[in-house]
A and B are shown apart, each in its own frame.
Chain A
């Protein structure tokens, strides 16, 4: 089947089976590997991307759901790591192994797009589904809070 959608601002066409899924299409067919696989069943958030600005778990998203939509991955959040959250992530030195961080940043970016000044409770509620085994949660919180204050 042919699928077309806008990936990080550029139109893409993909030929894939009917059961193709968004995560593996991004990673394997389009070699856009910043989006990670962590659980495959919507439990960890490593695979979060935006469809039309909304954060979704790409691991459980059929490719057909991206048809004609705007898909944004970590690679497309900014061209040069200049999104305020990326800058804050560097400033706060958030990542350790880094594997969860694409999902963390994409989830946080969706929050700030909707609510530029969330309080701590709102941040925790919004971020709670994105797991980090390295224990960077407090750094993530701080980076989001700092960004929110600046925005």
Chain B
């Protein structure tokens, strides 16, 4: 394959001349330097380095993360361009090739982990690396100019793509440097003191437009379903309705007889049909008669009955896995003056990214080419390689825009299917999931029952806190269950898991959605019980946590928490952290008592995300995540009956429409010089609680089971 990594010992070639420009390969700190051996004049798209500079001044920066709507392709390039001091109007952004040694990040932000775009970690994880790499690119340019002009490098200054030598009053553009630049054998680590002073930032923290937006208003942004490969055929799959059952196709000859059907491919979990058009593939899929065999665990799963199983499990004296613990809850809780208890529930929810899963694959004798919108670039490449028994270098993965990910596209199941079908038929294939496939073969945010109990001491303070999360999905259940910003001396937070044999997966903000709903609603219930203002109770609990407190105070101030609410409306407040970011929300709602519909009029939100690289986009992400959160809170529920998903498309799995969007969303970011934290999910976790809390303030009744559908609202009000 073309992309070959060599260690520095094997090749000292540090740059590549190509297409009238040069590509910098900036060495990673703490890793052996990596060099890509490429043919000269190769397509710039395939260049593995952070930046390509063309003689006309165009600066192409490589985007190491998947672009699924969160806008990090722009923010990441801006961090790099900031330190390179590039002319932002000349910046182009392209997806980096799949080379995690260079473009990956570890969970601690170290370079060389994986190219997995999850957990709102792209900006926070790449921030230091990209500043360093941008500064190193600038260093290379300055070195070249210094040598050419016979001056000291430190006498040179840069501004927006131009190098100046004030002493001799000379200047040269970055593009002009291309002609003579030599890349030094090694680029030193630029000390922090030589990085830009944040007060000189021109991009970080400033306003600029997203790079991808123009391509998303004229239909030119390319998603994997938009790919056409010569000779490509179309595939659709009928998948097991109950996870783990195997297919037996009853009408094979009838399906093969359909005009345009080219082949059938048996898969472990389904039957694929290959046709010469999308319509025929979909028609044949709809006509397949399949008997499903096997008796997998999922078959006995009835989701609405699962809550009783969870209740049962909660009574076991066996502790589950501990999320957090402090003091001695078992000793202190029984001594409490008063105990307050409440249970909360949340149904499964589905990702419902607008672009149903799809992939294009072409498996050849000893290589494969794949086009896909994925959150897991190297993970996909590796899974495909392992599945085919090939070296990962034999896999050419073309990343595309994602029409939403939200966690579902961190899985690679749909890519492996496309690969299996292409391999079986020896042709390039476009595999398209229907919306029904996407929903029914989804991997859901887990259902759970949350049991909370608080002990109040004689001074009226919360002295003990017990939170047991019982559900399915194992590790997905615990995220966000801890409350490190609430000082409660005795706490025990644990997760108990039952495996139902159905697919579960990270869903935007993961466990934070359900867990913050339960925690923040419970805090509200305690406040009402203690006749305290829910905002003031939170202030007391987080009095030793100034950053959190500032976020909470901010939103209370924005919403004028203490001011009277318009008649027929009420407000609710909550606080939540996610991916290191701190967020608080207030909403103002009313309820139509005849239909049971909750109307959210306004939402205020405050956010502390550390240094915010792209504030406008950060606010839009927060807005988007709270709207998606609101959708899940009001409408969304997946139910299983005997292991089978009962919903199938947007008519029985409604998501929020424009008419149900809040009339107004008012957001503010708190200025900070702390390190950047993840923002893409920060608005979502508090949504359940602010609605439930506002509803309680309005009606005196408590919503404890998400979603808060009109039926549930009517039931609770009657």
Query: Interface residues, chain A, CB within 8 Å of chain B?
Result: 16-17, 19-21, 24, 27-28, 31-41, 43-44, 46, 73-75, 77-78, 81, 86, 89-90, 93-102, 105, 124-125, 127-141
Contact = CB atoms under 8 A, between A and B. Distances in A.
Contacts of A78: 218
A43 B624 CA distance: 21
Given A24-B279, A93-B620, A44 B219 contact: no
Given A34-B220, A74-B219, A97-B354, 4 more contacts: A17-B260, A27-B226, A36-B354, A40-B434
A31 B435 CA distance: 21
A124 B663 CA distance: 11
B223 A99 contact: yes
B658 A17 contact: no
A140 B655 contact: no
Interface in B317-370: 352-356
8 contacts: A33-B226, A90-B209, A97-B68, A128-B657, A135-B625, A135-B627, A135-B631, A141-B661
Given A98-B221, A100-B354, A131 B650 contact: yes
B671 interface: no
Contacts of B282: 40
A38 B279 contact: no
Interface string B190-232: 0000000000000000000110111111111111011010000
B226 A99 contact: no
B659 interface: yes
Nearest to B358: A37
A31, A129, A133 interface centre (most CB from chain B within 10 Å): A133
Nearest to B616: A93
Contacts of B209: 90, 93
Contacts of B11: none
Interface stretch (B302-310, B401-409, B488-496, B569-577): B401-409
Contact of B626 (A33, A135, A140): A135
B377 interface: no
Contacts of A129: 657
Nearest to B351: A133
Given A75-B219, A128-B659, A134 B624 contact: yes
Given A16-B277, A21-B279, A93 B218 contact: no
A135 B623 contact: yes
Contact of B217 (A21, A28, A36, A86): A86
B278 A24 contact: yes
B403 A98 contact: yes
A16 B405 CA distance: 33
Interface in B247-281: 259-260, 277-280
B649 interface: yes
A40 to B, nearest CB: 6
Interface of B: 68-71, 209-210, 212-223, 225-226, 228, 234, 259-260, 277-280, 282-283, 352-356, 401-406, 432, 434-435, 616-617, 620-621, 623-628, 631, 649-651, 655-659, 661-662, 664-665
A41 B617 contact: no
B649 A39 contact: yes
B277 A28 contact: yes
A28 B404 contact: no
B354 A44 contact: yes
Contact of A96 (B70, B432, B631, B649): B70
A18 to B, nearest CB: 10
B216 A101 contact: yes
A104 to B, nearest CB: 10
Chain A to chain B: the 6 pairs with minimum beta-carbon distance, closest first? A34-B219, A135-B627, A99-B403, A97-B69, A98-B216, A96-B69
B355 A97 contact: yes
Given A99-B354, A133-B354, A17 B403 contact: no
B601 to A, nearest CB: 13
Nearest to A106: B219
A43 B651 contact: yes
Contact of A97 (B217, B228, B353): B353
Nearest to B276: A17
Contacts of A94: 213, 217
Nearest to B283: A19
Contacts of A44: 354, 435, 650
A36 B355 contact: yes
Contacts of B213: 89-90, 93-95, 98
B216, B283, B651, B665 interface centre (most CB from chain A within 10 Å): B216
Contacts of A73: 219
Contacts of A24: 277-279
Contacts of B69: 95-98, 134
A134 B401 CA distance: 14
Contacts of B631: 135
B624 A128 contact: no
A38 B655 CA distance: 13
Contacts of B664: 138
Contact of B628 (A35, A37, A134): A134
Nearest to A39: B435
A136 B355 CA distance: 15
Nearest to A23: B278
A28 B628 CA distance: 31
Contacts of B214: 81, 90
B617 A134 contact: no
B218 A37 contact: no
A68 to B, nearest CB: 21
B177 to A, nearest CB: 32
B436 to A, nearest CB: 8
A134 B651 CA distance: 19
A41 B436 CA distance: 10
A17 B628 contact: no
Nearest to A76: B219
Contacts of A35: 219
Given A43-B651, A105-B217, A98 B401 contact: yes
Contacts of A134: 69, 354, 404, 624, 628
A21 B620 CA distance: 36
A95 B216 CA distance: 7
B80 to A, nearest CB: 21
Nearest to A102: B219
A78 B356 CA distance: 27
B435 to A, nearest CB: 4
B277 A97 contact: no
A77, A90, A96, A141 interface centre (most CB from chain B within 10 Å): A96
B112 to A, nearest CB: 28
A105 B354 CA distance: 16
B616 A38 contact: no
B522 to A, nearest CB: 27
B464 to A, nearest CB: 38
A151 to B, nearest CB: 17
B356 A38 contact: yes
Contacts of A102: 219
